[in-house]
Each structure stands twice: as C-alpha cells, then as structure tokens.
Amino acid sequence: MARRGRRSSRVTIPMAVVAGFVSPAKEIWDRRSNLTLVGDYLSRSFTGWDPITKSWNLANMRTGAFPVLGGFAVHMIANRLGLNRVLARNGVPFLRI
C-alpha cells in the first residue's frame, strides 16, 4: 500500500517572510518621490554598498537584507517544528508562519 504525502491544495502566505519585507517597503514608500533615492536605498540596504560614499558597510543591511533573511529563517524553523501543519489542520485560511 502506498503512503499518501502531505500536500496542500491551497495558496498560503508565509507571514514571517512578508513581515521581513515590511521595513524595506516602508522605506521605499517614504522615498517614492525620487527614484535615485530608492535605488540608493535598495543598494545600501540589501548589499551593504553605499553608492553615494562608494563604501561597503555591513550595518547598512540592518533595514533591508537582515529582516528579510530573518523572516525566511523563522519560516523555515516553523516548518521544521510543524507549526504550519498545525495551522493547516486547524483550518486557519491562507496564513502560515
């Protein structure tokens, strides 16, 4: 007899990953009037490279890459612990950690 695997037929939104993008999205929204400022912010916050001063600094990534990577890490840990499976079994629609 073949084993049935766990398979979700619904689209879900990983909330931890989305939460990681909140800080960069807010900063982009604040700079939306000038595309040069948006590009400088994206470069500085996701790679650490500041195109204005032409220098690299790890601390620049604290509002961009680090929250996003943290969200992915929380999501992966929740999957390994089975928390997302518990949410699915209890009928929580669309949302996962």
Alpha helices in 1-97 (DSSP H): 15-20, 22-30, 35-47, 65-81, 83-89
Q: Stretch 52-64: mean pLDDT, rounded?
A: 94
Per-residue pLDDT tens for 5-27?
Answer: 666 567 888 999 999 999 999 99
Q: Two tokens at 53? A: 């001063």
* Tokens coding 76: 């992966």
Report the pLDDT value the prediction gives residue 68, as an integer from 0 to 100. Answer: 95
Across the range 53-79, mean pLDDT stands at 95
Instruction: Give the number of other Cβ atoms within 10 Å of residue 25's Cβ.
Output: 10
Q: What is the structure's pLDDT at 11?
A: 81
Q: Are 65 and 45 in contact (CB under 8 A)?
A: yes
8-state DSSP, 92: -
Q: For the chain, give the percent of residues with pLDDT over 90.
A: 73
Half-sphere exposure of 72 (CA within 13 A, CB side): 5
Counted residue by residue, the chain has a size of 97
How many whole angstroms separate alpha carbon 22 and alpha carbon 41? 14
